[in-house]
Amino acid sequence: MVEVIQGIKAEVGDKVPVGIRLCGLELLDDRGGNTPEESLETFKIAEEAGADYVSITIGWHESARSVITRDVPMGYWLPVARRVKEVVKIPVMMAFRIFTPELAEEALSRGDIDFWEVCRPMIADPQLPKKAAEGREHEIVPCVACNLCFSRLYYHQPIMCTVRPTLGHEGEPEWGYRALPKAPRRRKILVVGGGPAGLQFAATAAKRGHEVVLLERSAELGGSLLLASKVERSDGELLRFVSYLKGECERSGVELLVGREAYPKDAEGFDLTVLAHGARYLKPFPEAIIPKEAFSPSLTPGRAAVIGGEGVGVALALYLSSRGFQVAIIEEAPRIGRDVNPFYLWRYIQILKKRGVQILTGSRPLVLDQGKLLLSHPGGERALEVDLVITALREDRSSELQAWMAHAPQVLLVGDARRPRRLHNSVHEAYRIAKDL
Ligand SMILES: Cc1cc2nc3c(=O)[nH]c(=O)nc-3n(C[C@H](O)[C@H](O)[C@H](O)COP(=O)(O)O)c2cc1C
Ligand code: SF4
């Protein structure tokens, strides 16, 4: 390191500041990594070698702890920066879950850091500094710490951002990174459903100049994100995204009607109806409840079987086990969480195992009779005693199309209503279709 710093400095002279990123906390105690004290030494050595600033990182890919996922509170790693600042005089910078300008401002004014490095929040919104400087913080597209951007790199895929579909298309005006071009013809659009797909669609279409009305059945906007935000601890990232989308709708003139169930007759008078009211849950047994019901605080903890082990099933198991339910996940595939980002999945499985959740893969529910759930299982059949069965099996809403088409000249399905998938699929699909209208 000393030779590298000195070699570069010798080449570039004094006009270019030369800094180095070093790990301030390795989180590798289980495999003999540097201790925090040893890590501090590396910063001192860098300063002595002539580094003009240091950038602090936390953990390595091998660290068996969460570092940048939602369960790590924003600002959690700032004490590491404070320790580094105590041992060096050169400027210290750090990213790692410093997600808002307000938090960065506090850290800077306390002297925890000298510069706010910011990675994912600026992938989500490269205009973050400008918006913050102009007092438009509420317009910042908030990063939800999902790490889709990161994981795409591991799979050698072009980078994508869940909350910003324009990523990678900044140079293509029709993608509307700076502003969406106005549509040649103004259309009247009805959007059914105020979840992420509906909100994203409505805001994007309205920005193109269309007249948009959105109907949401429940009293609150957010759809599946409202439930997802209750699953594990976070700093409200998912709800911040809902607030942002709602703000986008309001700023672009969408008429938002909440607490208003939509019926096919409502489509009359509109040029286009967009069904974005989420997936439908399949009940393998009439007694099975749907996820929304499983989040009711009035449910008494007992033995619960979650049917379906993709992301929704995993989330339900996390939530119910946190409430003291004894949970079993029943999944037909050989493993659970196939659609969950690997940054989260390893930890979710760790938590589920710690809480004693049974993960029954290769299993299919057969019969539910008087609290006994019979399963087909690789070893034959097996019965589980259950107090509650919750379905996490989703299907699209294409069966509803015909009823709407009787009243509407054009009907589109968007998001989970079109095909149940992950958040980024819904948001991107809604944006892509709406921007081309
Ligand atoms: C898509 C992506 C690529 C990254 N590539 C690098 C890299 O090449 N080198 C590096 O030191 N850190 C890299 N990082 C880590 C970031 O620099 C940053 O330390 C991390 O995302 C935590 O900061 P944040 O909470 O502001 O995102 C990358 C992060 C992302 C999301
Ligand atoms: S993909 Fe997810 S983690 Fe990455 S910048 Fe976008 S919202 Fe943030």
In tens, the pLDDT along 95-117 reads: 999 999 999 999 999 999 999 99
Name the residue with the closest Cα to ligand 2, atom 7: 143
Helices (H), 141-195: 148-154
| CATH architecture for segment(s) 182-279+396-435 | 3-Layer(aba) Sandwich (3.40)
- How far is the centre of ligand 1, averaged over its atoms, from the C-alpha of 312 (Å)? 28
* Residue ranges covered by each domain of the chain: 2-118, 182-279+396-435, 291-394
Q: Is the CB of 21 under 6 A from ligand 1?
A: yes
Are 305 and 394 contacting, i.e. CB atoms less than 8 angstroms apart?
no
Q: Which of 25, 100, 120 to mutate to test the pocket of ligand 1 (most atoms within 8 A of CB)?
A: 120
Identical fold, 182-279+396-435 and 291-394: no
Residue 143 has pLDDT above 90, yes or no: yes
Give the mean pLDDT of 178-185: 96
Atom of ligand 1 nearest to the CA of 97: 25
Tokens linked to 32: 């003999």
Nearest residue by C-alpha to atom 16 in ligand 1: 119
pLDDT in tens, 235-291: 999 999 999 999 999 999 999 999 999 999 999 999 999 999 999 999 999 999 999
Q: Whose CA is nearest to atom 1 of ligand 2?
A: 161
Dist. CA 147 → ligand 2 center (Å): 5
Cβ neighbours of residue 281 closer than 8 Å, sequence gap 6 or more:
290, 291, 391, 392, 393, 394, 395
Measure CA of the first residue to CA of the last residue in the chain; give whole Å.
Answer: 54
Task: Kindly state the percentage of the chain with pLDDT values over 90.
Answer: 96
Q: Which ligand is closest to the CA of 164, given by its number?
A: 2
Ligand 2: which residues within 6 Å by Cβ? Answer: 120, 123-124, 143-149, 161-163
What pLDDT is attached to residue 427? 98
In sign, the C-alpha dihedral spanning 396, 402, 403, 406 is positive
Query: pLDDT tens, 343-401?
Result: 999 999 999 999 999 999 999 999 999 999 999 998 899 999 999 999 999 999 999 99
**ipTM surpasses 0.95:** yes
The CATH code for residues 291-394 is: 3.50.50.60
Tokens describing residue 88: 């060096």
Q: Identify the pLDDT of residue 421.
A: 96
Residue nearest to atom 3 of ligand 1 (CA): 150
For residue 95 and ligand 1, the question of a CB distance below 6 A is answered with yes
On average, the pLDDT of the chain sits at: 97
Confidence (pLDDT) at 64: 87
Q: 2-118 adopts what CATH topology?
A: TIM Barrel (3.20.20)
- Rounded to whole angstroms, the maximal C-alpha distance in the chain is 79
pLDDT of 389: 98
Nearest CA to ligand 2 atom 2: 146
Q: What is the DSSP string of 284-345?
A: SSTT-B-HHHHT-TTPPP-EEEEE--SHHHHHHHHHHHHTT-EEEEE-SSSSS-TTS-HHHH
Could you read off the pLDDT of 320-348 as tens digits, one per residue? 999 999 999 999 999 999 999 999 999 99
